[in-house]
Structure 1
Amino acid sequence: MMTQQTLSKLRELKLPGMADALQVNLGQPAFRSLTFEEQMGILVDSEVSSRESRRLNRLLKVAKLRYPSACLEDVDFRESRGLEKGLFAVLASCDWVRQCRHIIFTGATGTGKSWVACALAVQGCRVGLSAIYRSSNQIAEEIIIAEATGSLPQLKGRLVKAAILVIDDLGLMPFDALVARTLFSIVDERDRLRTGPLVITSQYPTDNWYSLLGDPTVADAILDRIVHSAHHIHLNGDSMRKSRAKD
């Protein structure tokens, strides 16, 4: 009876990790043989782990990543792909986020740009940083709908506040004037407030982006805030989808 009361109180105190660990371990002779300090240490560690897991799940839910299970540990560093293992070891610390150092992935379709971009976003979520993923088509559609419904300020606020903003497949369709101006406003506000970097993937080199971003003046303003302070990573090789199909 006492145990059930303790479990109920732990859950009322919003300590479900401790409650679950106590419920699982209480019947284990090995746990009962431990000192009180050792038992408490296990329960506290379980609560910390539970909170970190719940936080990660919340961040991933908000991020809406295309590949939410992508992770840096699974990145394919074959020499033919052009990815530097040393660079990614540095990126894993997420200092690039705190320094607002943008990351640009270029390369042919299917080379894994989107997957690696998501892996970086997942790593950010692991250390407690917020992320938002949008394909270029998605962000264009959201801006157009938000403008029509009067919710554009709220949309811009969400995209500005995210510590990591992933824009995937830039260039699949050119942006119209409204989308380009709104994107500039978001990029400029993020740059001014230093809320965090962008991660951009594109089949096209940055020199070709001017024609994809609508008005040349707006395009120049956007690129000036991104390109000069970015890690440029070009992925080589055949399509990963083609390789998986052969396997």
Structure 2
Amino acid sequence: MFTTADYEKFRALRMTNVAARFEELITDEANDELTPEQVFLTAVDDALDQRRANRIDKLIQGAQFPIPKASIAEIDYREGRGINPNRMRRYAAHDWSAETANLLITSPTGGGKTYIACAIGVAACHNEHQVIYTRMDELARKLIIARGDGIAHQALLTKLSEADLLVIDDFLTVGIDPEAANDLFAILANREHRAATMIAAQTSPGYWAQTLPDRVAADSIVNRLANNARTINLGEVDMRRHRGEKARASAGYWE
């Protein structure tokens, strides 16, 4: 068994998880036939797996997904949604750092855009990409607040510019002011060819160009988002209504 002094040494070497797992393994009679080297390497592998799991949990928490348990495996692929399991598995395994094409997800309200955006984002975290999720109205509000402090404002722009994957949900569901549009242009210009942006919206790029307050900035923003972007059009299926009907049909439901 290891002593307190031993653990101090392990902490100095940043090996406490390896040591703790090694101690568990050598006290387990099921491992009596393994050599010391085999037990030690198993402890190292287990510690590395735990470290990676902790890192993934931290990435998911840091992304601030509204549905942090969203999963590609749980997506409803019913007819009319414009998606299939093979395509979604590709997004789950996608290397967002190596290939920076944007992704546009569109459907009317209730189509399940947020769940799919979160599922793809969570999968990106599992691939150890840094992801930031935000609704467009929240982003505009944060930019307005940060604008009063030049350092905070620049720090926010830098953070949004450098994430491996930036997810903007409810894109232009409500309008934004010219200064927020200018900030959005700066973020997208910084990300172009360097990092991918995912947009979930009820509307199309044509509508965005008409809604943004400045025509020149609007053309630049829409061009950067939509040019060569991949698209998922979820069609007219109302998943919110479907979930409500499913809940009402379940045992124990009451109103």
TM-score, normalised by the number of residues in structure 2 = 0.89
Counterpart-to-counterpart distance in 1, 2:212 and 2:133: 19
**2:153 counterpart residue number:** 152
Are residues 1:187 and 2:185 paired?
Answer: no
Deviation at 1:22, TM superposition (A): 2.5
**Matched letter for residue 152 of structure 1:** H
Does residue 207 of structure 2 align to residue 208 of structure 1? yes
Q: SS at 1:167's partner residue?
A: strand
Name the CA distance, whole Å, in 1 between partners of 2:30 and 2:58.
34
- C-alpha distance in 2 between matches for 1:231 and 1:84: 15
In structure 2, the partner of 1:74 is 74
CA distance in 1, matches of 2:27, 2:224: 59
Kept in 2, the 8 Å contact 1:96–1:102? The answer is: no
Matched residue SS, 1:199: strand
Amino acid at match of 1:219: A
Q: How far 1:241 sits from its partner (Å)?
A: 2.5
Q: 1:3 to 1:75 in 2, by over 3 A?
A: farther
User: Are residues 1:198 and 2:197 paired?
Assistant: yes
Distance 2:75 2:202 in 1: 19
Gaps in structure 1 of 5+ consecutive residues:
none
Cα offset, 1:85, TM superposition: 2.5
Q: Which amino acid aligns with 1:174?
A: G
Gaps of 5+ in 2: 247-255
Contact persistence 2:96–2:124 (CA under 8 A): no
Q: Deviations over 1:177-235 (max 9, x none)?
A: 000011001100111xx331100000112211113322121111011112012111111
Partner residue, 1:45:
45
Query: How far apart, in 1, do the equivalents of 2:20 and 2:155 lie?
Result: 39
Q: Is the 8 A contact 1:11 1:19 kept in 2?
A: no
Residue of structure 2 in register with 1:103 after alignment: 103
CA distance in 2, matches of 1:210, 1:44: 54
1:120-159 to 2 correspondences below 5 Å = 120-150=120-150, 151-159=152-160
The one-character-per-residue Cα deviations of 1:8-45 (angstroms, maximum 9, x if unpaired) are: 53344323432342243332101232112221221011
Partner of 1:87: helix, strand, or coil?
helix
The structure that is helix-richer by fraction is 1
Aligned residue pairs, count: 245
- Which residue pairs with 2:244 in the alignment? 245
- Does the 8 Å contact 2:25/2:39 carry over to 1? no
User: What's the counterpart of residue 224 of structure 2?
Assistant: 225
AA in 1 matched with 2:93: S
Structure 1 CA distance for aligned equivalents of residues 202 and 61 of structure 2? 27
- Secondary structure of 1:79's aligned partner: coil
Return closer, same or farther for 1:15/1:77 CA change in 2, 3 Å cut-off: farther
> Which is further off, 76-85 or 124-133?
76-85
Query: How big is the alpha-carbon RMSD for the aligned residues of Structure 1 and Structure 2?
Result: 1.8
In structure 2, how many angstroms separate the alpha carbons of the residues matched to 1:243 and 1:8?
A: 56
Quote the offset at 1:61 in angstroms. Answer: 2.3
2:83 alignment partner, SS class: coil
1:170 Cα offset (Å): 0.7
Aligned to 1:15: 15
Match of 1:85 in 2: 85
Q: Report the secondary structure of 2:231's partner residue.
A: strand
Q: Secondary structure at the match of 1:81?
A: coil
The answer to whether the 8 Å contact 1:160/1:195 transfers is no
**1:53, distance to aligned residue in structure 2 (A):** 1.0
